[in-house]
Structure 1
Amino acid sequence: MCANYRPSTRDQLQQHFGVAPPDSEYQAEAFPASMAPLIRLPRADAVAGDRACALGMFGMVPHWADLKLARQTYNARTETVAGKPTFRHAYKHRQFCIVPVASFYEPSYESGKAERYEIAGADGEPLGIAGLWEARPADKDGLALLSFSMLTINADGHPLMQHFHKPGDEKRMLVILHPDQYDAWLTCEAQDAARFFERYPAERLVAHPAPRTGSRSGRGAQQETLPEL
C-alpha cells in the first residue's frame, strides 16, 4: 500500500514523461484526498504516444460516492480490481493512467516500531505507477472532479518491499511501470492489463529512513490501516 508519496516535479513531468505540467500548482507531498498530477490519454480515440497531464484527487471517487471515500481508495488490488464497485467501471472502460512519482513512503516495523522509509528509483529518475482514473460529473456547484488510484500487487518475498508494513500483514507493492511500457499501458485493453502486473526489480529501487518532521508526524502510519475497496 502507498498512502504518501512525492509527486514528480514539473520539470520531471516534461523531461521524463513528455507532458506539459498542469496549470495549477500542487503540493510537494501527496496524501489520500490530495490533488496531484496523473497522466492519461487526452481523448478516447488517442493513439500510443499521446499523453496529457491533469490534476486529480489521490483516491478514487465514483459519481455515486461521497468525497470522503478517497481516504480509503487510494490503492486498488490487482487481484480484485475488476470486480470491486469502486474500480470496476474505470477498469472495464480502460481508464488507465500513470501516476508520476518522485519517491514514495512506506513504514518498516523491523526495529520494533514504525519507521518511515523513502523509496525511489536507483537511477534518480522518477517512477511511473500504474493507476486508474475516474471522472465525477459537475455537482450543483458546477465542480467536476478527476480522481485516481494506484494499483498494487503482492510483494511477499520481494527482496526490498517485503521489509515494509506491519508484521503478519500481507506485503504489497505498487505496480511500477518501465518507461517503455508507458504508452502500452495507457492504450491496452482491459483483458490485457494483467501482463503489466509484475514486481519491479529490487535492484532498480533504493530505500532509506526518512523520519517525518512537523505537524503531519505519524500520518503515514495511520493511513496504512485504511482498506483497499
Structure 2
Amino acid sequence: MCSHYQAEKRRKQIEKHFGIRLPPEWEPPPGGLHIYPTQMAPFIRRPPERESGDEAVPDFELVEGHFGLLPGFAKEVRYGLNTYNARSETVRELASFKNAWAKPRHCIVPCEAIYEPDWRSGQFVPTRFAAANDETLGVAGLWSPWKNPESGAWELSFTMLTINADDHPLFNQMHRPDPKRPPEQQDKRMVVILPEAQYGEWLDATPQRSMEFMMQFPAERLAMTAEPLPPKAKAARASKAPPEEPSLF
C-alpha cells in the first residue's frame, strides 16, 4: 500500500494532462514534495459548479486536501493515518469509505512518483515507481469534505484506491509479510494508476461502473528504481517500523 509519494510539481505536466490553467501564484506542496499520510497535497476532481451546465466551468479543478480520507465522524486529522489507502475489495462496505464511494466522489491524485518498500534483501529499501516516459501518474482516489471540530472550517481529504498485485511483475516484489495481519490481508498491493484516456470516465463513473477501473497498470510502462536511505537516515529508520498497510483495512 502506498503511504509515501511525490506530488506532481511540474506545472506544465498538470496543465497538459488535465487541461486546466493553474493560477500564476500556484506552488506545489512544501516539504520537498514527499507526501505522507495527513499532509496536505493536491488532487483533481470535477468542479462542483460543473453540474450547473455553465460552459465556462472547466472540466477539471485542482484542489488540496489531507492525504488520508476523513469521513464525517472523524474527530481529528490523525484519523487519516488509517485511511490513506482504500482496498477496492472492501471500499463499498467500510464505514470510512462507503459514503465517498456511493456519492461517488471520485478524484485523481497527480503523482510524479510512488514509493514502496522493498525487503527482498532483508533490509528496507525505498523503491521509486515513475512513468517510463516521465509523464504524470494519475492515481484513482476518493475524496470527502470534512468539518474540522477544532476550527469549525470545512476541509478536504482524499485516499488512493488499491488492488491486488500478487501477479504484477513489479509490485509483487514489494512489502514484507506482516505476522500481525490475517492471511487474507497478506496479499501484495498496488495503487490504481489510470490511463490518461480514462481520466474523465473515472471522474464521471457511477458506483456500479467504478469497479471496471480497478485494473493493474502495465509493468512495462513503469520505471522502478531503488533509492537506498543514506546512513544516518537508515539508522533512524531502523529504530521504528516502516509504514505498512493500515491495520484497520
**Residue 59 of structure 2 aligns with which residue?**
50
| Residue number among 90, 106, 121 corresponding to 1:96 in the alignment | 106
| CA distance, structure 2, for counterparts of residue 193 and residue 86 of structure 1 | 18
TM-score scaled by length of structure 2? 0.84
Give the SS at the match of 2:110.
Answer: strand
1:77–1:228 CA contact under 8 A, matched in 2: no
* 1:206 and 2:223 matched: yes
* 1:3 and 2:3 matched: yes
Give the SS at the match of 2:140.
Answer: strand
| Structure 2 unmatched runs, 5+ | 179-185
| CA distance, structure 2, for counterparts of residue 183 and residue 45 of structure 1 | 15
**Deviation (angstroms), 1:126:** 1.0
Q: Which deviates the most, 123-132 or 164-173?
A: 164-173
* 1:227 and 2:244 matched: no
**Residue 85 of structure 1 aligns with which residue?**
95
Give the SS at the match of 1:16.
Answer: helix
**Residue 141 of structure 1 aligns with which residue?**
151
Going from structure 1 to structure 2, the CA distance change for 1:200 and 1:221 (only over 3 Å counts) comes to farther
**Deviation (angstroms), 1:139:** 4.1
| Structure 1 unmatched runs, 5+ | none
Deviations 1:100-149 (A, max 9, x none): 00001001111112111000111110100000000013545242110000
Larger CA Rg, structure 1 vs 2: 2
* AA aligned opposite 1:45: E
Matching of residues 52-131 of structure 1 within 5 Å:
52-66=61-75, 67-131=77-141
| CA distance, structure 1, for counterparts of residue 20 and residue 168 of structure 2 | 32
Matching of residues 28-39 of structure 1 within 5 Å:
28-39=33-44
**Residue 165 of structure 2 aligns with which residue?**
155
Give the SS at the match of 1:207.
Answer: strand
**Residue 29 of structure 2 aligns with which residue?**
26
* AA aligned opposite 2:17: H
Q: How many residues align?
A: 229
**Deviation (angstroms), 1:62:** 1.1
**Deviation (angstroms), 1:192:** 0.3
1:61–1:134 CA contact under 8 A, matched in 2: yes
**Residue 185 of structure 1 aligns with which residue?**
202
Compute the RMSD of aligned alpha carbons.
2.4
1:76–1:228 CA contact under 8 A, matched in 2: no
